[in-house]
Amino acid sequence: MASYLKSSSSGIMRCCILVTMVTSALACMCQPSHPQQQYCKANFVLTGHVLEKNPIDDIQLRGRFGQFEYVINVDKIFKENENLKKGASGFPLSILPSPGDSLCGPKSLRIGTKYLIAGSVVGGELHISACDWIQEWRDVTQEQKKGIKNFYSAYCSQCMIQSTMGGFRQNTGGGTAGGCIYDPAPSMVNGVEDCQALYATCIIQQGQECQWYHRGNDYQDCISRNKPYYHGVETTQSVNFPIMDDVMT
């Protein structure tokens, strides 16, 4: 009997551990999103250097215990709200992990490093989560920088991006001029570059319809490098879209 009880308790423990692992994994899963989608849904978008990384040990910050509060020195604000004015820079601000995000939380940021941060505002606090666009600025591509500065905000309400996984489309609604299809499957399933996310922007082009825009050879080169995984991917490119070369560094 004792042996049976020991075996049963061991089985229950393994089951509990498995359930906990599955629950944690599901909690940390994010819907695949193009950077333009991330920009449009965010309440604020900025770049800045991390000045401080302070452990959260205040019991009142429920759901965030064991995570970190970040103090960011703002370099530039690209999307504003009532607390942050576009173009402002040179001041510190505090950013907290979103409540209830304690199972995984946003990735850890390094002191002294410059980041692009797109997050939300709740109750006057700036929040970031594991599913927000948080990336080292040096890894943001030139096309993404152009989108952040000029293009993304201009087409948030006009061009809706529809996410699909290997042909299964998730309808995200339509903009005033339709939308573009974003398929992250090649990157997520096969580990290759996400060419659409890195080098393409959804804008209104000839015929007043939304299409993927990509200037230069970066997008086509990316498709060519990963050709077996990008068969049939939309490659339309505008020839009359205004050229903007003042890319941020």
**Residue 156 marked as a ligand binder:** no
Task: Determine the longest span between alpha carbons in the chain, in angstroms.
Answer: 80
Q: Quick one: tokens of 234?
A: 């939309």
Say if residues 78 and 149 touch (Cβ distance below 8 Å). yes
235 residue type, one letter: T
Distance of alpha carbon 235 from alpha carbon 212, whole angstroms:
7
Q: Where are the beta strands (DSSP E) in the chain?
A: 44-55, 68-79, 92-97, 114-122, 125-128, 134-136, 160-165, 168-170, 179-182, 201-204, 210-213
Distance of alpha carbon 56 from alpha carbon 46, whole angstroms:
23
Nearest Cα to Cα of residue 38 among 246, 201, 203, 220: 201
**CA 105 to chain CA centroid, nearest Å:** 14
Please, where are the H alpha helices in 177-246? 185-190, 195-199, 218-225
Residues annotated in the binding site for Zn(2+), as ranges?
28
Residues annotated in the binding site, as ranges?
28
